[in-house]
Chains A and B, each alone.
Chain A
Amino acid sequence: MLSLQYTKYQYKVLVAKLGIDGHDRGAKVIARALKDAGFEVIYTGIRQTPEQIVSAALQEDVDVIGVSILSGAHIHHMNKLMEELKNAGAEDIPVVVGGTIPVIDVDELKKIGVKEVFLPGESLNRIVDVVRRLAEEKKKAEK
């Protein structure tokens, strides 16, 4: 095996807007913050279906999937996404979500397998740290 010690592995994150809302300010700010923190970020744009997101995640072999939903339909859409991930045999890819999510919905989202829920007002630094930790854990589990 070619092994050279110099290169740092660049973690890959998919940032997607699930559902039909068009509020992409947060998704874009986070995408940029992740890029500045050294991640390779793939941004899918708005109006993505669970199938499109999972397909992109597999093709790009990402380490984390980050979803943004500001339509209030997060429970419905995240259920569909987690199901789609399961069908594709890709449950090992950690998923995080942010948006206009009331704190009372956090438990339900975590129950279906979402690793972290970011509420409005979350700090960028924390989001980046969480994403990095999840990516590192995933990579470790692969070995």
Chain B
Amino acid sequence: MGNLYDKKSLNEIKNSFEKWEKETLQNWLNQVPEREKEFTNLSNIPIKILYTPADLEDFDYNAKLGFPGNYPYTRGIHATMYRARLWTMRMFSGFGGPEETNKRLKFLIEHGETGLSLAFDYPTLIGIDPDDPMAEGEVGIVGVSVPTIEDMKIVFDGINMGQVTTNMTINPPAPVLLSFYVGVAEMQGVPYDKIGGTTQNDPLKEFIAQKSYVFPPEPAVRVSMDLIEWSVKNLPKWNPISVSGYHIREAGSTAVQELAFTIADGIEYVRQLISRGLDVDEFAHRISFFWDSHINFFEEIAKFRAARRMWAKIMKEWFHAKKERSMWMRFHTQTAGVSLTAQQPWNNIIRTTIEAMAAVLGGTQSLHTNSFDEPFRVPSEFAAKIALRTQQIIAYESGIADTIDPLAGSYYVEWLTDEIEEKAWNYIDRIEKLGGMLEAVKKGFPQRELTEASYNYQRQVEEKRKYIVGVNIFEDNQVDEIRNVPLLEFDQAEIERRQISRIRKIRSERDKELWERSLNELRKAAEKDVNLMPYILQAAKAKATLGEIISALKEVFGSYVEPPIY
């Protein structure tokens, strides 16, 4: 059966616990009361003073946990986990033009990162060229400007694309950036079956949280599914989607909401792909996820474990996946940007460390650790290196990675994993009743939950029911400390000029007929029920720019304007 405790022992423990509560505990409380009226985590779940086996009555080890590499994968998706291979240390990076980012990638590789992750600037994220009026002042600030295949080539100058895997955090323009990436890899002589990496490509969370949307919901989902379908058939090592909870969490959701909404997004995508006639085992092994790792240590660990168990169950019972790989929740994690403070910024190193430890104890496949200067700018080399070293110290010094799922069996952690899972299922039920996540997004449900949660949290902070060191407790007004943080410097205006002159040169030198034809064919294809990837690839190779390709699609699909939801 696998039950951890027999009835008789449990009863004895329960009785002893009650005795302890009434006598020992009460004596102590009479002398010194608890320091808060109530202890809650970031999902507002009340946390007790103590957890015992009594909290795990009927806990069936085999059903709930099992073993790593076996269903339901709660303890890990691989049997060896970090004993065989550490998680990928994948630092999210990018700024300025491709030259600057190429240099930064090489720096990080030199210092031991084991996977690449590209951050794009805002114009690239929303699919406009650097000379678009809306791009003015924004080129190269939050990430690298990559409006053409030429720019992608420069990013990977001197980096063998057949030997690295690259995550690209890009959503509506994902097919375009993937086309650039594949095009450059081809130029390097890398065959399609050796091209590895991830495109984030998760439209639903754009409407809920990140808001770098372009097209309205239905066409956005169509484009995204086109990429996935094409990718599973052509790029066997590519993860065409990274279903993301990170942005939902950063936009203010609780851990429970992050878990529920992300999994609901995943469910919607699986349904969409099945409705195209694909068999679930054809694509499910290539679905990956992306979680936040926030500051409440145990809450995050419980969330990761619950996530694995929930997804496995959904793939097996809802979608009848037959292959093991189809049931694995493979994920990348990023430590919570929103938990970092501008006040006393050096403290952020500690926060990132706690969050990174939680991600490792939660069994992540890949990890990005934030730099302490994130509240001000994209990271300096100095700060990025410390963030990378954080992961390396955890991996090589702390012993955390030396055994699998070490917190299993903890009364608190198992109780919390169950609790978070149950609450997430409640949300998923509600979303199912609304007709699934696409419908729920169109109705504004997750968006409303989010604004409510973020407002509540802010009120909690204002009223000191939740603490932030340096912000509402232990503040010290040391402005000089902040002024002295060495920030990354780069000449944004110069980079913008350079990117504009490059793109204008490309536009003037390309084969006009080929270019025009490729865009016309793309527009026509967009009006029909065909996969757009080959057309986008063709346009990319004909030197169409990102802005031109997205504009062509906007003509057919329209642009999204969100409804007012507070």
Contact = CB atoms under 8 A, between A and B. Distances in A.
Question: Are the chains A and B members of one assembly?
Answer: yes
Interface of A: 19-25, 28-29, 31-33, 35, 43, 45-47, 49, 71-73, 76-77, 80, 100, 102-104, 119-121, 123-125
B479 A45 contact: no
Given A20-B126, A31-B566, A100-B376, A71 B455 contact: no
Contacts of B250: 25
Interface of B: 122-123, 126, 128, 134-138, 141-142, 206, 210-213, 250-252, 341-343, 375-378, 450-451, 454-455, 458-459, 462, 468, 470-472, 479, 482-483, 487, 561-562, 564, 566
A103 B373 CA distance: 12
Contact of A32 (B134, B142, B212, B566): B566
A100 B375 contact: yes
Contacts of A33: 455, 458
B376 A102 contact: yes
B134 A47 contact: yes
B211 A124 contact: no
Contact of A20 (B138, B455, B470, B564): B138
Given A25-B250, A76-B136, 12 more contacts: A29-B252, A33-B458, A35-B566, A43-B566, A71-B142, A72-B141, A72-B377, A72-B378, A100-B376, A102-B377, A121-B468, A124-B462
Given A71-B138, A76-B137, A120 B375 contact: yes
A32 B126 contact: no
A43 B564 contact: yes
Contacts of A22: 206, 210-213
Nearest to A125: B462
Contacts of B212: 22
Contacts of A46: 211, 562
Contacts of A100: 375-376
B375 A20 contact: no
A31 to B, nearest CB: 6
A123 B342 CA distance: 13
Contacts of B213: 22
Nearest to A21: B122
A119 B342 contact: yes
Contacts of A104: 483, 487
B467 to A, nearest CB: 12
Contacts of B138: 19-20, 71, 73, 76
Nearest to B374: A100
Contacts of B455: 28-29, 32-33
B134 A20 contact: yes
16 contacts: A19-B137, A20-B123, A22-B211, A28-B455, A29-B454, A43-B564, A43-B566, A45-B564, A47-B134, A71-B138, A76-B138, A100-B375, A103-B483, A120-B342, A121-B471, A124-B462
A123 B459 CA distance: 10
Please name the 7 residue pairs, one residue from A and one from B, whose CB atoms are nearest each other, closest first: A22-B211, A76-B137, A102-B376, A72-B141, A121-B471, A120-B342, A73-B137
Q: Of residues B252, B458, B462, B561, which shows the largest number of chain A Cβ atoms within 10 Å of its Cβ?
A: B458
Contacts of B206: 22
Nearest to B126: A20
B166 to A, nearest CB: 23
Contacts of A123: 462, 472
Contacts of B451: 28-29, 32
A121 B342 contact: yes
A71 B141 contact: yes
A43 B135 CA distance: 22
Contacts of A49: 134
A33 B461 CA distance: 13
Nearest to A123: B462
A19 B141 CA distance: 12
B211 A71 contact: no
A122 B55 CA distance: 40
B122 A121 contact: no
A24 B211 contact: yes
A27 B213 CA distance: 18
B341 A120 contact: yes
A29 B565 CA distance: 11
A25 B251 contact: yes
Contacts of B252: 25, 29
